[in-house]
A and B are shown apart, each in its own frame.
Chain A
């Protein structure tokens, strides 16, 4: 399929190990054809993050959500089992559930009043005798479930491809970072109500790049860094690293960006929190052992799970989901993930701290959004130019180290390169990458954290 004719003339990626350059064709962010291809290949065949099981804690709970443009019902049936159904009546296609969330045993279509149980079975078809073989007919008319649904540490993923590999195989090394999140608190974690729902005028891949880009932190977040410094905290980019985890997943390990509620204290958290942090850290060491507790507690992680999940395990924990709407527009949904058994003071401090950084009203995220919205506007400058070689963005930073086998820093662009290499495969654009010179073997090196 990679040889399908397409209108993008030049390679999507040019990777050159002689020149140590890596360039991405800006059509990738603009083209309607590429966007359609992403919908058909990436969103139809990979695992997609749907939601967290704590969003629907009780039998009969449901949320509606759109993935890859498809309306879905994410629900727990009366027996407690989690499902994802197409939110579309099997009769003539009407959106079945028109509430965003709630609790129900039955979903009834308002159009002709067909009714379905929350495990997908048909509950009632009015005047079913009008159908010739009404029992078989009825049996064939259950809600259409997504072909695959699997859960890891409470994170629920779906795939529209029945042949997708097992979720854990797909997650690979990313799975353990999700386990670390679950291990942060003995009582486990839960999502909270109060979802940040917002949309940006930028391609979804720019949001991924931004999250995997430590290089922008100091200049873009100058005012936020200033606030941290004033509150008595040193901010540094030293000893911070980026990892490709395979399958397009990426990880930034950060040790210099502010504290972590209940794990790394800093002055702006106040004295009470210092005492609580020490106690929690001691409990973690006992529960997890010194080494594992160190990885769980002492470093911040920004984890990207290809293609639509970002976990910001920083001051607090934000789950961010990306839903591409158009080449130049992305819907973002963000939930706060918190310890289930947290005392109210810590919870209040956590919420304030997380929201002060993350989200469209924070002191930092608006500048990120400004950055990638500005990229989306700026890259029109070289569209369709007579010198197509100018229509590329540069992501070469850190390749010199990579060629020497030195671990990439968070302020390099290695995690982005890992993303783009996988994107080429996932979109089936096999001929879309041009590699010159010899790719070093070390760029997929993992990390032993156990």
Chain B
């Protein structure tokens, strides 16, 4: 992860993006996911975007394309994942998990390219399923792009801070 500077705004693609704007985006995403609106969720991505979850033994600098990971979705797989989750035959999520997300500690920084910027944030996702209630805790490490229609994900990455996934805590939903 690149060094994060905590600041209220970042310049990107010729305009200023504020932390409040990013927070609103992340809160809206959490709400969309907690309400199982997967078409709405996919609309938050630019075409060609990625979704990644490294393994719990992940170290800074590891590329998911060179190491094992939990999720390493390119655009095709992300679409396949959404299509699957909307199906009645996604048995691991039928009936659906109930989730409740908290997003916090939002920090902005420049991306590696002119048209995208980096967002770090903390998350806690609580998930109820099969009579159990599990907590998932970690950091987001996203690349966002400002567009005329608002912010969009270029990369959505969830980094767990667990030592391993607890029993029953498989990642069949979106983290």
A interface residues, Cβ below 8 angstroms from B: 100, 192-201, 220, 222-224, 226-227, 230-231, 268, 325, 329, 331, 334-336, 344, 347-348, 351-352, 355-356, 359-363, 365-367, 369-371, 373, 377
Tell me the bound Cα distance from A366 to B77 in angstroms: 16
Given A193-B67, A363-B80, A367-B91, check contact A198 B169 (CB 8 Å).
yes
Tell whether, in the assembled complex, residue B77 and residue A194 are in contact, meaning their CB atoms are under 8 Å apart: no
> Looking at A334, A335, A336, A361, which has the most chain B CB atoms within 10 Å of its CB?
A361
Q: List 28 A-B contacts (CB under 8 A).
A: A100-B57, A193-B59, A194-B55, A194-B67, A194-B68, A197-B57, A197-B163, A197-B165, A199-B164, A223-B84, A223-B89, A223-B90, A224-B84, A226-B87, A329-B167, A334-B68, A336-B68, A347-B65, A351-B64, A355-B68, A355-B69, A355-B72, A356-B77, A360-B70, A361-B53, A363-B77, A366-B170, A377-B130
How many residues in B have their beta carbons less than 8 Å from beta carbons of A?
A: 43
Tell me the bound Cα distance from A222 to B80 in angstroms: 13
**Which residues of B have CB within 8 Å of A220?**
91
Tell me the bound Cα distance from A336 to B167 in angstroms: 21
Is B26 close to A, CB under 8 A? no
Given A223-B90, A227-B84, A370-B91, check contact A196 B68 (CB 8 Å).
yes
CB distance from B80 to the nearest CB of A (A): 5
Is B73 close to A, CB under 8 A? yes
**Which residues of A have CB within 8 Å of B89?**
222-223, 226
* List of 5 A-B pairs having minimum Cβ-Cβ separation, nearest first: A194-B68, A194-B67, A361-B70, A197-B164, A366-B92
**Which residues of A have CB within 8 Å of B169?**
198-199, 360
> Looking at B59, B168, B169, which has the most chain A CB atoms within 10 Å of its CB?
B168
Given A223-B84, A356-B77, A369-B170, check contact A194 B64 (CB 8 Å).
yes
**Which residues of A have CB within 8 Å of B175?**
361
Tell me the bound Cα distance from A366 to B89 in angstroms: 12
Tell me the bound Cα distance from A369 to B171 in angstroms: 11
Is B20 close to A, CB under 8 A? no
CB distance from B9 to the nearest CB of A (A): 34
CB distance from B93 to the nearest CB of A (A): 8
Given A348-B66, A356-B73, check contact A198 B57 (CB 8 Å).
no
**Which residues of B have CB within 8 Å of A195?**
55, 57, 68
Is B56 close to A, CB under 8 A? yes
CB distance from B48 to the nearest CB of A (A): 14
Is B172 close to A, CB under 8 A? yes
**Which residues of B have CB within 8 Å of A199?**
164-169
Tell whether, in the assembled complex, residue A198 and residue B165 are in contact, meaning their CB atoms are under 8 Å apart: yes
**Which residues of A have CB within 8 Å of B166?**
199
**Which residues of A have CB within 8 Å of B92?**
366-367, 369-370
Tell whether, in the assembled complex, residue B66 and residue A371 are in contact, meaning their CB atoms are under 8 Å apart: no
Given contacts A193-B68, A360-B169, A366-B171, 9 further A-B contacts (CB under 8 A): A193-B62, A196-B70, A199-B164, A224-B84, A226-B84, A230-B80, A351-B72, A355-B72, A360-B172
**Which residues of A have CB within 8 Å of B59?**
193
Tell whether, in the assembled complex, residue B90 and residue A367 are in contact, meaning their CB atoms are under 8 Å apart: yes
**Which residues of B have CB within 8 Å of A365?**
170
| B68, B76, B168: the one within 8 Å of A192 (CB) | B68
Q: Which residue of A lies closest to B65 (CB)?
A: A348
Tell me the bound Cα distance from A230 to B171 in angstroms: 24
Tell me the bound Cα distance from A199 to B169 in angstroms: 8
**Which residues of B have CB within 8 Å of A369?**
92, 170
Tell whether, in the assembled complex, residue B70 and residue A344 are in contact, meaning their CB atoms are under 8 Å apart: no
**Which residues of A have CB within 8 Å of B74?**
352
Given A227-B80, A351-B68, check contact A373 B54 (CB 8 Å).
no
Tell me the bound Cα distance from A193 to B66 in angstroms: 9
Given A351-B64, A355-B70, A363-B84, check contact A194 B54 (CB 8 Å).
yes
CB distance from A299 to the nearest CB of B (A): 24
Tell me the bound Cα distance from A352 to B62 in angstroms: 15
Q: Chain B 70-113 against A: per-residue CB contact (8 Å), 1 yes, 0 no? A: 11111011001101100101111100000000000000000000
Tell whether, in the assembled complex, residue A371 and residue B65 are in contact, meaning their CB atoms are under 8 Å apart: no
**Which residues of B have CB within 8 Å of A352?**
65, 72-74, 77
Is B58 close to A, CB under 8 A? yes
Tell whether, in the assembled complex, residue A200 and residue B168 are in contact, meaning their CB atoms are under 8 Å apart: yes
> Looking at B64, B66, B68, B169, which has the most chain A CB atoms within 10 Å of its CB?
B68
**Which residues of A have CB within 8 Å of B167?**
199-201, 325, 329
Q: Which residue of B lies closest to A223 (CB)?
A: B84
| B58, B81, B90, B164: the one within 8 Å of A198 (CB) | B164
CB distance from B104 to the nearest CB of A (A): 23
| B66, B81, B170: the one within 8 Å of A351 (CB) | B66
**Which residues of B have CB within 8 Å of A335?**
68
